[in-house]
Structure 1
């Protein structure tokens, strides 16, 4: 009796060849601008003490209250698979004393994150992000740089049909003044018990409620940007001035709050017009009180998380990324065991100079090997038989045009 197949858990995003090449390209394109801006890699665990996310992300958020994968380990400790990257990065900065060295601390990271959400297109229970954090200075120029790094990543992929939305969630003085009037307004609403509880913890969460009836109710609520202190307003205006100078277009969205409680001051989101309800492809903001909340110094920080899965979906929707972009340079067909050693030597030498080379393995005949070369999408193919071994001359066939030219083995790299 045949054993039943085991499938991947529901709601995870898996990438297998050939689409995995596209995923890798998108991820590396999002990382590259951070490296060029001096951000350094931070590799973090995929699970943390649950208290980190309760204190760091906020117990009023859907992420903490509804979406975390939490379990008790063998040591009777409450452990959670990371639902986002900033809290873990901040924990590591504090634990390893990076905040005691040169500031700002500039780090990047990437990997899998986990949320127990209802799976749908662009929303997964395991998803992938690229993130950066700049920690230690409250400087609007850093805000602009962080936004510019994200924008450069999306442009490197080739995306065009997205927009940047920005706002300011103000400083403590701004939020305190706004909260007084916001709570008065909320007190006039007929809310269910769960929503009232969320509002008592953080009333801004109601702006992030996705229900149509709540959107309608909150459309008349007082807006935090109308309560910004002089300091907060000056900071936000400076950020806009820097973005204007960099040629980065944006829309001010005064109702944006995002889904994590630690955001303060400059907050932003990138939205793609072809992804429907799951249109956010990345975002972030400043988190001035997070380090202190997690037991560290009173230092400011700003960062972002960019969705690799959604950026890939956006690239495919725009048609700016195709499989043909990632084919091999050369496919070598050795005829018989006697030529395999030479084929391996040629492939190794070409790979050393950056050429992508595949070899036809196994005992398939010439016809089968040519079919394999065609399916691989390789730009060129050569057949290596006894005659070619003796003369050191190959017929280099262009797989698109079908035209073949004679080249020496020594000149292969130049011809490719």
Structure 2
């Protein structure tokens, strides 16, 4: 075995696995177009300060999970652990506010976190994300949650549920944090190591701990401590979700792991995925752009974990067909057949037909076996007999039916056959 192996926590994507990625990404892009979102692509690498300031210095991501290093000039750089901070930076740096508000943006790409690799959790993982900048209207929150609902339905997923919460504003959370500390203080000696650390740095994260679940059950609800503005925002969000016919549950334990969230927070869980049940999450971040030295700009967004969605599709046995199917496999024999095959391949590809030309030194039998492995729909044969008579043989690989037609009519016949399917 070669000493050159992939890094732990990463994976190679090939073969039948690719069809799931195509299916998810293409479905997302089509739906984003319908919803009026524009794609944005940001660098994989950013200044470390962007994340420590944007995500929060005391978060697990910044404290323990970022891939950070110094470049040759001693500048601290980090592989992006999430997408929102980078998009917010791009929004500020490129003055996207001048293009009008709101700005509705989406992205698809890899993120990096140094976590313990396990099922549904990788060190390089891919997200589909969306951000809306420039409006604090709860309709924006509702639109993003509705997008997620529509997206998972288009993927034919069933076993998911949407959970929503409001975590108020930075200012209004002060009193709630005091109440929460009072509740957890006598329980502290029995809490896990992470919860003991978070008690003084990020008390609200104790609510979504996967170890001390029992301790959180009787914790006071943040919904009882919301300021009037946050309360009204949350009520309106629920009203709009009902208007969109999006089913949801209110869960006061949803707090998310990033410090920039305000008011709305939400997650989507899939019941078949165990501990890694969260397949999407997001919320509002009305202060993030200003924290990154931009103009005061409200925002809201989400991220969907592609690897976990793929696992959900597999658990539900959703049939996914490859979008890179081979319509026609061109098989040939002899030098004349070879040149005729090149000409025909060019002609078929011009008509948009997915065409695979044999480019190996296989005999005719080997070419048919290869076409079968590739799941080609049709095989077009150009052998000595066909060349001498100016015809081709077309074989339907599913039915086994073979027909011979004039060479000049191949493209038209193939197009017609594919149209009839």
- The interval holding the TM-score normalised by the smaller chain is over 0.9
* Residues 1:366 and 2:368 aligned together: no
Q: Tell me if structure 2 keeps the 8 A contact 1:110–1:131.
A: yes
Shift of 1:323: 5.5
Q: Tell me if structure 2 keeps the 8 A contact 1:31–1:153.
A: no
Query: Could you tell which deviates more after superposition, 267-276 or 394-403?
Result: 394-403
Q: Deviation above 6 Å: which 4+ runs of structure 1?
A: none
Q: Tell me if structure 1 keeps the 8 A contact 2:19–2:322.
A: no
Q: Aligned partners of 1:35 and 1:173: how far apart in 2?
A: 37
Determine the structure 1 residue equivalent to 2:207: 207
Determine the structure 2 residue equivalent to 1:397: 395
TM-score normalised per structure 2 = 0.91
C-alpha change, 1:342 and 1:21, in structure 2 (3 Å) is: farther
TM-superposition CA deviations, 1:10-64 (whole Å, max 9, x none): 1113201232232222222223212222211211111111111111111222111
Determine the structure 2 residue equivalent to 1:414: 416
Determine the structure 1 residue equivalent to 2:57: 59
Q: Tell me if structure 1 keeps the 8 A contact 2:65–2:113.
A: yes
Shift of 1:137: 0.3
Q: Tell me if structure 2 keeps the 8 A contact 1:207–1:255.
A: yes
Determine the structure 1 residue equivalent to 2:8: 10
Q: Tell me if structure 1 keeps the 8 A contact 2:181–2:203.
A: yes
C-alpha change, 1:207 and 1:392, in structure 2 (3 Å) is: farther
Query: Could you tell which deviates more after superposition, 55-64 or 125-134?
Result: 55-64
C-alpha change, 1:142 and 1:390, in structure 2 (3 Å) is: farther
| 3-state DSSP of counterpart to 2:187 | coil
Determine the structure 2 residue equivalent to 1:28: 26
Q: Aligned partners of 1:161 and 1:144: how far apart in 2?
A: 21
TM-score normalised per structure 1 = 0.92
Query: Could you tell which deviates more after superposition, 200-209 or 94-103?
Result: 200-209
Q: Tell me if structure 2 keeps the 8 A contact 1:324–1:377.
A: no
1:282-321 → structure 2 map (5 Å cutoff): 282-321=280-319
* Residues 1:90 and 2:63 aligned together: no
Query: Could you tell which deviates more after superposition, 229-238 or 386-395?
Result: 386-395
C-alpha change, 1:156 and 1:340, in structure 2 (3 Å) is: farther
Determine the structure 2 residue equivalent to 1:43: 41
* Residues 1:137 and 2:139 aligned together: no
| 3-state DSSP of counterpart to 1:188 | helix
Q: Tell me if structure 2 keeps the 8 A contact 1:71–1:78.
A: yes
Determine the structure 2 residue equivalent to 1:219: 217
| 3-state DSSP of counterpart to 2:399 | coil
Shift of 1:313: 1.2
Determine the structure 2 residue equivalent to 1:99: 97
Shift of 1:380: 1.6
1:236-315 → structure 2 map (5 Å cutoff): 236-315=234-313
Determine the structure 1 residue equivalent to 2:344: 346
Q: Aligned partners of 2:248 and 2:343: how far apart in 1?
A: 53
